[in-house]
Chain A
Amino acid sequence: MDTALYIETIKKECAFLEKEGYTFTQLENNIYYTKETDSEGFRIRFSWLEYGDTFAIQSLTAEKRFNIVEQEIQKILGGKLDSYYTIYTSPSINNTPKGLEITNFENNTRYTTNTVNDIELFCDFLKSFYESDAIAFFDNHKKFTKTVELYEKLEREKISSLIINNGTDIFYRELVIKNKAKSIDENDFVEMVITELESLKTNSTFGTILENFKHLQVNLQANV
């Protein structure tokens, strides 16, 4: 199997998403199905790695963007708004496609496909994930207030099970959510993050996060 056949098969087998109003996009080794409204964005995505004829599919997720949150982050990080998403869900580990070899990692699952038939099996699985999990997830997070409510109930260690953390941006997202929801602990959160990052700022990664965080806070205060 080659890349062209792989993508052609994905597009054919996942055509139901286009019928649902999603737009297909391929960006390097990523497939995105996206749908936009004036205030929100929805995305079903996955990526793949190639090992010869084997295509290892991973990172299947359903994501939702609240523009009210992400446009603030976009202001400090740049890029296009449609690159940013706020919350996500992934298939349950207990829900696995039949007939496909799977490998579970810490917070990811890989589906190994070698043939057109394997891709068809993966797309069947994606369809069941969309119909049973993604739609329910989007319904459950129809309103920003509902997402805020669920976020505030989470222990700190569990926050990234709902809020997207790409590795460096979760504090920005939390700050905007707290600000837009007028959370009573917004100032405490700001102080806590700044204190923690100040001690790490000699490292350029943490120094940059700290600078961006402060910048974001200034922007949010200016909006009031």
Chain B
Amino acid sequence: MKTNFKIYLLVALSFLTSLNISANDTFFSIEKSSDRVEELANKVGKTNLLKKLDDLGSLKTWVNGLDNVVDANLITKLDGLDVGDLAKLEADIASNSMGSGLKALLKESPDDLNDMWKLLKDDPKYAFGLSKTGGSRWEKWAQGNFFKTVTKAGKDFEQFVSSNLSVLRTKLLSKYPNIDLNDYAIFEQIQMKTGQKLASGTDEFFIADFVLVKKKTVLGQEILDFDNAIVLETKLSSGTALTGPQTNALTKAKTSSNTFDVRTVSQSSTTNSSYSLGSSTSNKTVTVTDYIKVNSNGVGGTIQDVNSLK
């Protein structure tokens, strides 16, 4: 019996070795092992991420339910957030009114975590502006309750400043006696090109919350001196940093090439209905001589400080 078994085994082995193993067989074999390695790596990535979320219950529950393969990109992006951002995301995910919408947007497009959610948290007012011009992905976010909630405080403060120009004037005068708001025509929400190009090749721009243009009386008429303009950016708190495009604009304002092309097609002045900026009949460039941050106390409803950044 044993001898017979040995004979059968030898026959079987010689049959197997006589077979040609095709290239495809080898490829599938390697591919399968590659899939397994990737799956294993995804599993390790998710496990590592979960270790960071011990105190962040809602986020942990959500990440636990993510698929190792399908949501691999999202898991990697989440793993790249620092502790502070993870804590902010936990609060947003845990929100009854915003959480489910936010999770759906991030699952749909994981790149939105950095491109949109983080930008919204860092500078909601700037993101609000982008939602008007930034393309279809932003339109999708702008429809969500999350977007509306996050941008509200920043836009409310901008509106507060606009409706309380006398308070702003006092703040500015007390710190910068040469800047009297009454000497300027005020334009709001002006898109200006920073001089930089985006990856797409189009011109980068920022939205100046306020552009003050110096008035000069000539022969009884007020003429706007577009060589003499100041940009004001409103921020909810003193710690809120400028966005990338705003930083580029500030850098440009600090140089001798401080003349900006206005991207806005036509905007009338807040303080005078006849004055316009950016139309075919008016100036399309402004020279920025100062760049001032107007900040609140983190909550809004008050102008806490003004600071020249130039």
Pick the contact of B221: A107, A170, A200 (CB < 8 A). A170
Q: Are A167 and B223 in contact (CB under 8 A)?
A: yes
> Size class of B's contact patch?
35 or more
Report B-chain residues with C-beta under 8 Å of the C-beta of A36: none
* A197 CA to B218 CA, complexed, in Å: 8
Q: Are A160 and B221 in contact (CB under 8 A)?
A: yes
Given contacts A52-B128, A107-B272, contact A168 B219 (CB under 8 A): no
Q: How far is the CB of B306 from chain A (nearest CB, A)?
A: 20
Given contacts A88-B274, A166-B274, A192-B219, contact A105 B266 (CB under 8 A): no
Q: How far is the CB of A62 from chain B (nearest CB, A)?
A: 11
The chain B residue sitting closest to A110, CB to CB, is B270
Q: Are B282 and A159 in contact (CB under 8 A)?
A: no
* A167 CA to B287 CA, complexed, in Å: 15
| B250 close to A (CB within 8 Å) | no
Q: Are A164 and B274 in contact (CB under 8 A)?
A: yes
Interface residues of B in 161-220 (CB under 8 A from A): 162-163, 165, 185-186, 188-189, 213, 216, 218-220
* A27 CA to B159 CA, complexed, in Å: 22
* A110 CA to B142 CA, complexed, in Å: 25
| A18 close to B (CB within 8 Å) | no
| B222 close to A (CB within 8 Å) | yes
The chain A residue sitting closest to B152, CB to CB, is A52
| B264 close to A (CB within 8 Å) | yes
Q: Are B155 and A51 in contact (CB under 8 A)?
A: yes
Q: How far is the CB of A106 from chain B (nearest CB, A)?
A: 5
Which segment, of A74-82, A122-130, A132-140, faces chain B? A74-82
| A117 close to B (CB within 8 Å) | no
Q: Are A196 and B219 in contact (CB under 8 A)?
A: yes
Q: How far is the CB of A57 from chain B (nearest CB, A)?
A: 11
* A108 CA to B268 CA, complexed, in Å: 10
| A145 close to B (CB within 8 Å) | no
The chain B residue sitting closest to A209, CB to CB, is B223
Report B-chain residues with C-beta under 8 Å of the C-beta of A79: 279-281
| B271 close to A (CB within 8 Å) | yes
The chain A residue sitting closest to B128, CB to CB, is A52
| B148 close to A (CB within 8 Å) | yes
* A3 CA to B138 CA, complexed, in Å: 14
| A17 close to B (CB within 8 Å) | no
Q: Are B159 and A54 in contact (CB under 8 A)?
A: yes
Q: Are A77 and B280 in contact (CB under 8 A)?
A: yes
| A84 close to B (CB within 8 Å) | yes
Report A-chain residues with C-beta under 8 Å of the C-beta of B268: 30, 47, 58-59, 108
| A205 close to B (CB within 8 Å) | yes
Contact mask for chain A residues 149-190; partner B; CB cutoff 8 A; 1 contact, 0 none: 000000111011000111111110000000000000000000
**Residues of chain A at interface, number, CB under 8 A:** 56
Report A-chain residues with C-beta under 8 Å of the C-beta of B185: 167
Q: Are A168 and B270 in contact (CB under 8 A)?
A: no
Q: How far is the CB of B188 from chain A (nearest CB, A)?
A: 5
Given contacts A51-B159, A80-B280, A197-B218, contact A105 B270 (CB under 8 A): yes
* A105 CA to B152 CA, complexed, in Å: 24
Interface residues of A in 62-91 (CB under 8 A from B): 73, 77-80, 83-84, 88, 90
Pick the contact of B267: A47, A61, A78, A157 (CB < 8 A). A47
Given contacts A159-B220, A167-B282, contact A56 B273 (CB under 8 A): no
Report A-chain residues with C-beta under 8 Å of the C-beta of B282: 166-169
Report B-chain residues with C-beta under 8 Å of the C-beta of A53: 148, 152
Pick the contact of B219: A28, A77, A156, A169 (CB < 8 A). A156
* A107 CA to B156 CA, complexed, in Å: 24
Report B-chain residues with C-beta under 8 Å of the C-beta of A166: 274-276, 279, 281-282
Report A-chain residues with C-beta under 8 Å of the C-beta of B302: none
| A193 close to B (CB within 8 Å) | yes
* A30 CA to B267 CA, complexed, in Å: 8
The chain B residue sitting closest to A157, CB to CB, is B220
Q: How far is the CB of A7 from chain B (nearest CB, A)?
A: 13
Q: Are B274 and A203 in contact (CB under 8 A)?
A: no
Q: Are A204 and B270 in contact (CB under 8 A)?
A: no
| B283 close to A (CB within 8 Å) | yes
Interface centre among B155, B185, B271, B276 (most CB of A within 10 A): B276
| B90 close to A (CB within 8 Å) | no
Other A-B pairs, 12, CB within 8 Å; known A59-B269, A88-B273: A30-B266, A47-B268, A51-B158, A59-B268, A103-B163, A106-B272, A108-B268, A108-B272, A160-B222, A166-B281, A167-B275, A205-B283
Report 28 cross-chain contacts, Cβ distance below 8 Å, ordered by A residue.
A28-B267, A49-B188, A50-B189, A51-B155, A56-B162, A60-B273, A79-B279, A80-B280, A84-B281, A88-B273, A105-B186, A105-B270, A106-B271, A106-B272, A107-B273, A108-B271, A156-B220, A165-B221, A166-B282, A167-B213, A167-B222, A167-B276, A168-B226, A169-B281, A204-B227, A204-B287, A205-B224, A205-B227
List of 4 A-B pairs having minimum Cβ-Cβ separation, nearest first: A79-B280, A156-B220, A167-B224, A51-B159
